[in-house]
Amino acid sequence: MDHFTYRDGALNAEEVPLARIAAEVGTPVYVYSAATLTRHFNLFREALAWTPHLVCYAVKANSNLAVLRLLGGLGAGMDVVSGGEYARAVAAGVPGERIVFSGVGKTRDEMARAIAGGIRQFNVESEPELAVLSEVAAAMGAEVPIAVRVNPDVDARTHAKIATGKSENKFGIPIARAREVYAQAARLPGLRVVGIDMHIGSQLTDLAPYRQAYGKMADLCRVLRADGHAISRLDMGGGLGIPYRRGNEAPPLPLEYGQVIRETVGDLDCEIEIEPGRNIVGNAGVLLASVIFLKRGEGRDFLILDAAMNDLIRPAMYDAHHDIVPVAERPPGAAVAPVDVVGPVCESGDTFARGVELPGLEAGELVAFRSAGAYGAVMASEYNSRPLVPEVLVSGDRYAVIRARPTIEEMLGRDRIPDWL
């Protein structure tokens, strides 16, 4: 469910007409719904109400400070994968004891910054990282909580570029070597083993891979406890999918996901951590764009928008689908025709959809890309020297620009020409 609905013949974000935002902010622009963010976060919290838990929002999905502040105010923890994301979480007011630091390539500086600022735990992904984190923590006179990310070699049945739990993926320690690595961690100074971490992929629409992976996690927890490790936390990762196509079968609900966790590890008396990102923010956002031209071609027509692959790269990178809808509502049964929806960037890959059935749209009319709140603005670039797309947050009948569109002069002003040129 989201809060983008047609009202009085036009698509609204909560109680704000998208056409008003387009007129006052310009397009392309991302628009987020605070009510949808709140609802989706609360669904995960309710799904784990049966046990002590922390819902750690995956900052990589959408790292805008206003989004982080809203979720942090609801009690969310944060899952970060860089020093910059850690700084964003702290700047948004989230305390260190609610921040989990993941990622395969943490630097010494990033480790030190998180230790100094406060951290709930590091999710360690390799033996070299164990050794370096031990050195950094010991040099600072600190003891830091850690969980080791274990790769269960489970096929998440998702896109190859967002699968993370198979043996050929770069993430985590092979489960066959987990006991050895945990024994090594227990011997190192500056580290305190508290948990197990596992994350098998993103945009999962089937609970079976979770059940398989979490069953392996439960078995490992019992073995590690028998080895003398005080395992008190289980970080289950995230990755629950969202419905990108309206009318198709919906992915599992957070409540069903929470039940799988309960059935697989609920008897272990551990605090549960989960790291949802897409499922919280994905359907809470749309990308609003304007039509530039309708171009008639040989055998196909092209709807050219002012949004491009640099604003929303998911279709080009992942062959991802986003429903594209006109902002001005059409009557039932209105005539439609197939068009390729494209942007102005000089790449053939700057194509959002091929042969999508849309009503006739004129230059200046607005369209919205649904389910664009996750991995949209956060992956945007200035390719073709196009200024970064702005972001807007709506709450009820009000909205605020939460990241402004830079001017071309501001974009150029970041470059420096050396004196000798």
What DSSP character marks residue 98? Answer: G
Q: 297: annotated binding-site residue?
A: no
Label residue 341 exposed, middle or buried (CB < 10 Å: 0-12, 13-18, 19+): buried
Q: 314: annotated binding-site residue?
A: yes
Label residue 306 exposed, middle or buried (CB < 10 Å: 0-12, 13-18, 19+): middle
- Give 77's strand partners: 56
d(CA 409, CA 290): 23
Token readout for 338 is 């197939």
d(CA 318, CA 278): 15
- Give 55's strand partners: 274
Q: Are 190 and 137 in contact (CB under 8 A)?
A: yes
Q: 73: annotated binding-site residue?
A: no
Q: 239: annotated binding-site residue?
A: yes
Label residue 357 exposed, middle or buried (CB < 10 Å: 0-12, 13-18, 19+): exposed
CA 321 to mean position of chain CA atoms: 16
d(CA 332, CA 28): 27
Q: Are 214 and 261 in contact (CB under 8 A)?
A: yes
Q: 7: annotated binding-site residue?
A: no
d(CA 380, CA 406): 13
Task: Give the dihedral sign, CA 113/115/120/121.
Answer: positive
Beta strands in 188-333 (DSSP E): 191-197, 233-235, 271-274, 285-296, 301-305, 324-326
What DSSP character marks residue 328? Answer: B
**What phi and psi, each to the nearest 5 degrees, are found at residue 113?**
-65, -45
- Give 32's strand partners: 285, 393
Task: Give the dihedral sign, CA 384/386/387/391.
Answer: negative
CA angle 253, 256, 258 (to 5 degrees): 110
Token readout for 363 is 């230059």
Active site residue 56: no
Q: 88: annotated binding-site residue?
A: no
Q: 347: annotated binding-site residue?
A: yes
Q: 375: annotated binding-site residue?
A: yes
- Within a 13 Å sphere around the CA of 325, how many CA atoms are in the beta-carbon half? 21
Q: Are 191 and 134 in contact (CB under 8 A)?
A: yes
Q: 275: annotated binding-site residue?
A: yes
Residues with catalytic function: 346
Annotated binding site for pyridoxal 5'-phosphate: 239, 275-278, 375
- For the annotated binding site, the residues are 239, 275-278, 314, 318, 347, 375
Please enumerate, by residue number, every residue annotated as part of a binding site for substrate: 278, 314, 318, 347, 375
